Structures are given as C-alpha cells and as structure tokens.
Structure 1
Amino acid sequence: MTTIMIDAGHGPETAGKRSPDGVLREFSFNSAVAILVKRYLVEEGMTVVFSHKEQEDITLSERTKLANRLKVDAFASIHANAFGNDWNNANGIETFVYPAASKESVTLASLMQKSLITACNRADRGVKKADFAVLRETRMPAVLIECGFMTHREEAALLMNKAYRVQCAKAIAFAITAWVYRGKR
C-alpha cells in the first residue's frame, strides 16, 4: 500500500506567517487543505500520515525524521507564499524540489504544478529548486507547494475561500494519484 506524508507547512503559532492585515494565518490554509487532500487520497486507497499537529508547532527536523522513519512513499508540504510583509503584486503558484532532487521528485513536482495551474487558474511560476529542510532532509520523493501569495490581496482572499481550498486539495491529490499510478515510487 502506498503511504503519503502530507505536511501542513509551519505551525499554528509560527511567527510572521500571516497576511499583512493579520486576517489570514498561513497554517489555517495549509492545515485545511491537508485535511482535504488526506480525504481524497484515502478515497483512492492510499494511507496518509500528517507530519504536523493542529495545536502545536512541530520542528522541521521532527517532520523529516518522522517521514524517514515511516519510510513513506512521498512527502508533500503545503504552503501559502509571501513576498515581504506588505501587500504587493507577487502572485501565482510554484512547486519546489531540492536542487539535487531525484527524478521521481521532479516528476511529482511537474505533475503537481500542472495540476494546480489547471485547477486554480493562477499565474504559473513553475517548478523551482530550493534548499528547504523538508526537501533536503527527506529520503523519499518530496515537493513543497506554494498555492498563492498571502501578500497579494486577491490571492489572500482566495486562500481564505473554501472553494479555492477544495480546488487546491483536489489538484494536489490528483497529482499524487497520477504519480503513484505512473509507477514513480
């Protein structure tokens, strides 16, 4: 059976991870989407494990150690992006992999980015490489997804919208399912 770790990035009390007006906390978006993704993947017959907890901040090290210990088949970290601390025009969706990522990570990231852009109709910022701890320290295919900018007024409103959260979750689940069924494990 395929096991996927879903990571609602950051935590409920992570400092600074909110919209400029303070109305949207990033973790509220990340965790809501994670719950939906889990539901959709379980419907596809997969096992889903969360790396985060709803009531406390879990360190990046604890998250990656859990993924490695459980030997999950893939790791997907869900985020809402930000550019600075004030409202600005940076917008769109991007997916990250580690600079020395495996072919399987790159395939998953490409599927993820295409699925999110198709479902959410936002600007395509592409698949990018970054030295993020959750990508560097995991020993399985891993991606980090940025579903829109909390510092862009229109996208901040979308990130708080239930319908948009469902769109993101379905797109993420679709990409993971497509990746699994392509045999890229």
Structure 2
Amino acid sequence: MKLWPRFINSKFLFLLLALGVGPDKCFSDAVNTPVVPKVSRNELIVIDPGHGGKDEGTADKELRYKEKSLALSIALSVQGYLRRMGYKTIMTRSTDVYVDLNKRAAIANQNKADVFVSIHCNYSSNTSALGTEVYFYNDKNVLRTKKSENLGKSILAFMQKNGALRERKVKEGNFAVIRETSMPAVLVETGFLSNPKERAALLDSRYRSHLAKGISEGIHAFILNRQIKKTTAGNSGVKKVYK
C-alpha cells in the first residue's frame, strides 16, 4: 500500500517530481539519510520500548498488530539514528522479552543516563482520537520536571516536522518509568492504534522510520540546546557544544 503522499509536503513533492526524482526514491532517501554528521558524543540515551513478552500492550489478532512489536520497531530505529549521530545508547529490551517497569527505570539510573525515552502506541475507545503525544512526570525536582517537559516539547515538534499525522500536546503523566527515573524522562505515545487511519500508518515501516527520525532529532535538539545554555552561562564559547 502506497502511503507516501500522506507524509511528504505537497510543494516539496512537486519540486522533486519536476526534477525527475520519484516518490519512492525521495521517501527512501529521507528515511535512510543520517540526520546529522556523526560526531563522538558523551551523552547516554536509554531507549525503552514499551511492553514485551507476555505483556503485548494493545493488540488485535484480527487486525494483526501488537503494540509491543511496533514499539520495539520504532525504538530500534531511534537507536540507529542516535548512534549515527554519535550518541551512546542502551535499550531496556532489544527483543520480545518482558522487563519489569522498575527494572527499566533502574537500568537508566544505574547507567547514569542523560535522557530516558519510553516508546508506546496509544489506544482509545473513541476511534476518532488521533495524533502523537508525550508525557513527563511532575515531581518535587523542579529542574528535572522542566527539563523533561522541554524534552517532550522538542520530541513532539520534530515528530510533527517528520510527518506525524497530528501533534497533540505534552502532558503530565504518572507512569512508573518516568516517575522512578532521575534524569529528564518522557513517555512517547506515537499514535492511536484504535484509529483506522493512524493504525494503517503505524503498520507501515516507512512511517515508523519517520517517527523514529523525529524522536531522535528531538532528543538531539534538546541536548544541544541544554549544552548551549551551559556554555553561554560559563562564558567559554559555543564551540564547546560540538566537541
């Protein structure tokens, strides 16, 4: 099923066609092109694919989808993009296994991660519900809360830029994996499997790659922005950001 027209800006597509570049070619290149040139970085990102093993998340045998599999697919793509950027990454799971929620948070805390991102697919009894949204935990640590909120805003903005069907908003949420972590942490709901249009998109690997690209670019922008603020405060020059 050809889904590319939904995810490519029409003016941009017209220009490419005028230049003799086919849609399949441009879509493939957009997904496979590294986001930024690789630079060695010190930051560690923990990526948490939701559910796994006995916990399938939202699933439908007739429609042949399982949230745990889609979340893992997106998470692995995020890992690939981040590694090409030069970031260190840890997956809380890289196969179809069950991992306890507290253990997921512990993995991030024990490894002193700089950022924690949990990836899920959404579901609602209202089948018209549509779009991506991001949750952060509002705790007593005001600084971490603000950083988590900013991380969520950055990720959501770049997901929309990369073709997410609709941007909802960043919300407060009391989920164990973002509550029990000690670094900036968010839970990303990549879309509603209960919505026929968004389900069809999420079942397309090309769309998932675009979402992953948006998530990784959002993480990258958040980290760069944080480093720029630190560098500016220290009056030591912006160039240090790129070392």
Q: TM-score, normalised by structure 1?
A: 0.92
Cα displacement (A) at 1:20 = 7.4
Partner of residue 123, structure 2:
82
Q: Which runs of 5+ in 2 are unaligned?
A: 1-41, 231-243
Partner of residue 31, structure 2:
none
Partner of residue 164, structure 1:
207
Partner of residue 70, structure 2:
29
SS at match of 1:122: coil
SS at match of 1:112: helix
2:136 equivalent among 97, 108, 121: 97
Once residues 108 and 76 of structure 1 are traced to their aligned partners in structure 2, the CA distance between those partners, rounded to angstroms, is 9
Cα displacement (A) at 1:53 = 4.0
How do 1:34-53 and structure 2 match up within 5 A? Answer: 34-53=75-94
Cα displacement (A) at 1:135 = 1.0
SS at match of 2:65: coil
Q: Which has the higher contact order (CA 8 A, sep 6+)?
A: 1
Once residues 79 and 94 of structure 2 are traced to their aligned partners in structure 1, the CA distance between those partners, rounded to angstroms, is 14
Output the amino acid matched with 1:139. Answer: S
CA RMSD for the aligned pairs?
1.7
Deviations 1:64-110, CA, capped at 9 Å, x for gaps: 011111110000011110013xx711111101101235221111011
Once residues 30 and 121 of structure 1 are traced to their aligned partners in structure 2, the CA distance between those partners, rounded to angstroms, is 15
State which structure, 1 or 2, has the greater radius of gyration over its C-alpha atoms.
2
Output the amino acid matched with 2:110. Answer: R
Q: TM-score, normalised by structure 2?
A: 0.71
Q: Which runs of 5+ in 1 are unaligned?
A: none
- Percent of aligned positions that are identical: 32
Structure 1's 63 and 109: CA in aligned 2 closer, same or farther, altered over 3 A? same
2:225 equivalent among 176, 179, 182: 182
Partner of residue 73, structure 1:
114
Q: Compare the two structures and name the one with the higher helix fraction.
A: 2
Once residues 153 and 7 of structure 1 are traced to their aligned partners in structure 2, the CA distance between those partners, rounded to angstroms, is 26
Output the amino acid matched with 2:116. Answer: F
1:107 equivalent among 121, 133, 150: 150
- Residue 136 (str. 1) matches residue 179 (str. 2): yes
| Cα contact 2:69–2:96 (8 A) shared by 1 | no
Deviations 1:19-54, CA, capped at 9 Å, x for gaps: 474411001111111111111111111100001241
